Amino acid sequence: MTIVRVALNVPIDSLFDYRLPDASPQDIGRLVRVPFGKRRMVGVIVDCVHDTQVKPQQLKAVDEVIRTIPPLPPILLKLFTFCNHYYHHPIGMIIMGCLPAKLAGVKSISKINTEQAFFMLTEAGRLVSINTLPVRDKAQRSLLTQLQTVGTLTSKQAKAISRRAPQLIALFLTRAWIEERHSVTPSIQPKRVSMPTLNAEQADAVKSIVAALHQFKTWLLHGITGSGKTEVYLQVIAAVLQQDRQVLILVPEINLTPQLEKGFRDRFPALSVICLHSKLNTTERTQNWLLAQAGTANIVLGTRLSIFTPLPKLGLIIVDEEHDPSYKQQDGFRYSARDVAIFRAKQTGVPIVLGSATPSLESYHNALTERYALLSLRTRAIKNAALPVIQLIDTRNKLLQEGLSEPLLNALEQNLAQNKQSMVFINRRGYAPILLCKSCAWMATCSRCSSRLVFHLQKQLLCCHYCGHQQPSPRACPHCGDPDLLPFGHGTQRIEAALTKYFSTARVVRVDRDNVQRKDAWAHIRQAIHEKQVDILIGTQLLAKGHDFPELSLVCILNTDASLYSTDFRAEERLFSQLMQVAGRAGRANTAGAVLIQTDLPDHPIYSALIKHDYDRYAKNLLKERQTIDFPPYAYQALLNTEAPKLDSALNFLKNALTIAPLAQSMQIYDPVPAQMPRLKGYERAHVLIQSHSRKKLQNFLANWYTELSKIKKTRVRWTIDVDPLEF
């Protein structure tokens, strides 16, 4: 009798034993369907053994081994095991949570066909102009447009576009616009395309990385905004593809993927470029994941979760905008995709490139101490393109009109007169962050969170941007009855309304999560910007990173000072990074750039560093402060987080948890305190901070503590361990 140990998506940090006659080590990594209690679940075989501690009469048999899906490779299972040990999260929840939803579903998994044909756009198909197709044949136009956008389509995806898809696919095959492939087809060699000429810094960076493609090495590519980091990526990727190996590129935001995806498809038209992110439907994500697993996908471009994609021929990992906090998962399995990427590169023996104009202090410190190899790009890639001139507008004694100063409005007017594009950045959605009663000082607050409700004017709604709660805006104060409620503060919608009023002939477009929810919304807006159909762009941090708008010459930044009052020790670092990134959108081509920042604190060191574009000096000053207070990167941290219906329950759990904590002289353990946002989504939250100068000692402490915490009987308190936390 052979026993298989199966990982299941349950909150128990254990593998579960099942009978499977004739099981062999080759079955490790296979998906299986098994009974669990009264349910049927899908799990992954992690090990094969010949004995078990489960009593024979209690040992259940595997219902089915899913042999239509290739097994997860051993190296990926080792990566999951590392995450289990480092982040202290149940192994089954890690493994099953990192698979596409269709693979983890009991009913959906049997419907997956890994041998399904897909159709790839050819070079001839890429050159076809949509305007040459019959105007009335909308189905043909839509199908070819989608193929030219994403590169590949399955039969099912094509049928979702048009019922005539089978006939049109046959027509496209006849015209050699597409070719039929299967997921097991070996990847083809890249065609040679002309590479843009690099400047000296770019050429040195490419040469250095390419020379070390055969080994693990962490490169920090520190390039100012517009310095051509993407071109460095592309030329290094070309060298990797020549070796018939795969490349994984991580990006922090879904909205960055179309721009990068187009760049990769244009540079490597004969190769398979796939995306993995949450905007894909379950079928698209599963199919792309299987293409990557089969080795057919040459380039995989994705967000955080993509780091766990099986890639049998992995040759290079790139983490773009490596400083971005979006790489850190903030609930459930709280991993850092950037840090896991570094471990995966080391495990696989391949290089990893971390790219950023404003590296995280942890990465910059690692470069200064030579743990990472530093590559610097200090000039803009386009000839004659210079860094924008940054100016401050002191708003302490100025009367603002809807949050906008007179110098800022004059600059926008002048830019419009010169037919140039402008961007106004304010990192707040909605119309106003506060709805206030002037009579009794009542404010609209969320009943589920420790936050104020944001007023959205167009829909007359009050919305919580933390838990998603919505309610109609009251016509009068619910406390005193005064109908004169005042929207206080400014969000993107209010700035949009103000600028539309001041510049009635300008084409004003707003970009935030409220108006880019549709799958193709951001693509249409981005196209309009590039075609100069937008005069003034208003947006949040969605516009701050990675985007290249050649005609954008003026950037105006509002409401930045709040972060400088934050108790979060990382707030200033994040603000500096954000402002540098936003400022970098201006003047990226031949158009001269200017940046205006409204502030009540013009003498703060952060602004003088911004004006000089001096990341290095400012980062070194911040590192000195961190060293003085003994915080990361000079120490390693973890949080024990709790959530409960009442705050006392959460705090009492933490106090009891400290009584069972292992003795450790090298640990610094702080007292239990409420979280910065004590109430979130109906739960009261608290935490304990643990800190050490030794990562190894911290991990040993957490491993022992996690074992003891797991023995606590079920209570109404939920707890998690957050290693290397970014939010408190």
Three state DSSP letters for 445-511: ECCCCCCECEEECCCCEEECCCCCCEEECCCCCCCCCCCCEEEECCCHHHHHHHHHHHCCCCCEEEE
Q: What is the CATH number of the domain that holds 661?
A: 3.30.310.180
Residue 46 shares a structural domain with residue 143:
no
Residue 537 shares a structural domain with residue 647:
no
CA distance 532 to 582: 20
Q: Which has the minimum average pLDDT: 54-63, 84-93, 300-309? A: 54-63
Q: DSSP string covering 131-165, please?
A: GGS-TT-HHHHHHHHHHHHHSEEEHHHHHHH-TTH
Helix H or strand E segment including 675: strand 673-680
Residue 603 shares a structural domain with residue 689:
no
Residue 34 shares a structural domain with residue 69:
yes
> What's the rounded mean pLDDT across residues 118-132?
84
pLDDT of residue 30: 94
Give pLDDT tens digits for 285-296.
Answer: 888 898 899 888
Among residues 592, 624, 656, the one where a domain terminates is 624
How many domains does the chain fold into?
A: 5
Mean pLDDT of the chain: 89
For residue 187, being part of any structural domain is answered with no
Indicate whether 189 pLDDT > 50.
Answer: no
For residue 286, being part of any structural domain is answered with yes
> What's the rounded mean pLDDT across residues 536-542?
88
Residue 102 shares a structural domain with residue 152:
no
Give pLDDT tens digits for 674-722.
Answer: 999 999 999 999 999 999 999 999 999 999 999 999 998 878 899 999 9
Residue 217 shares a structural domain with residue 355:
yes
Q: Which has the minimum average pLDDT: 83-97, 487-501, 586-600, 653-667? A: 586-600
Give pLDDT tens digits for 496-520.
Answer: 999 999 999 999 999 888 887 776 6
Q: Which residue has the tokens 């000079």?
A: 634
Among residues 83, 111, 139, the one where a domain terminates is 111
CA distance 213 to 99: 29
Amino acid 408 reads L
Residue 228 shares a structural domain with residue 370:
yes
**Residue 36 pLDDT grade (very low, low, confident, very high; cuts 50, 70, 90):** very high
Treating both helix axes as pointing N-terminal to C-terminal, what angle do 229-242 and 257-267 enclose, rounded to 10 degrees?
A: 50
Q: What is the CATH number of the domain that holds 352?
A: 3.40.50.300
Residue 503 shares a structural domain with residue 603:
yes
Indicate whether 609 pLDDT > 60.
Answer: yes
For residue 477, being part of any structural domain is answered with no
pLDDT of residue 384: 65
For residue 478, being part of any structural domain is answered with no
Q: Which residue has the tokens 């080391």?
A: 346
For residue 630, being part of any structural domain is answered with no
Length of the chain equals 728
pLDDT of residue 233: 95
Range of the domain at 140: 118-181
Q: What percent of the chain has pLDDT over 90?
A: 61
For residue 440, being part of any structural domain is answered with no
Indicate whether 182 pLDDT > 70.
Answer: no
| In 218-281, alpha helices (H) | 229-242, 257-267
692 touches 635 (CB < 8 A): yes
Largest CA distance in the chain: 83
Give pLDDT tens digits for 312-335.
Answer: 999 999 999 999 999 999 999 999
> What's the rounded mean pLDDT across residues 426-449?
91
**318: phi then psi, degrees, rounded to nearest 5:** -120, 130
For residue 188, being part of any structural domain is answered with no
Please, how many CA atoms are within 13 Å of residue 726, restricted to the half-sphere of its CB? Answer: 19
**126: phi then psi, degrees, rounded to nearest 5:** -70, -30
pLDDT of residue 1: 60
CA torsion 311→312→315→320, rounded to 10°?
0
Residue 414 shares a structural domain with residue 287:
no
Q: Which has the minimum average pLDDT: 12-21, 185-194, 319-328? A: 185-194
Indicate whether 529 pLDDT > 90.
Answer: no
Indicate whether 375 pLDDT > 60.
Answer: yes
How would you write 564-614 as a 3-class SS string?
Answer: HHCCCCCHHHHHHHHHHHHHCCCCCCCCCCEEEEEECCCCCHHHHHHHCCC
pLDDT of residue 188: 40
Residue 229 shares a structural domain with residue 274:
yes
For residue 443, being part of any structural domain is answered with no
Residue 149 shares a structural domain with residue 28:
no
pLDDT of residue 413: 94
Amino acid 78 reads K
CB atoms within 10 A of CB 432: 21
Residue 126 shares a structural domain with residue 31:
no
Q: Say whether pTM exceeds 0.85.
A: yes
Among residues 342, 377, 412, the one where a domain terminates is 377
Q: What is the CATH number of the domain that holds 71?
A: 3.40.1440.60
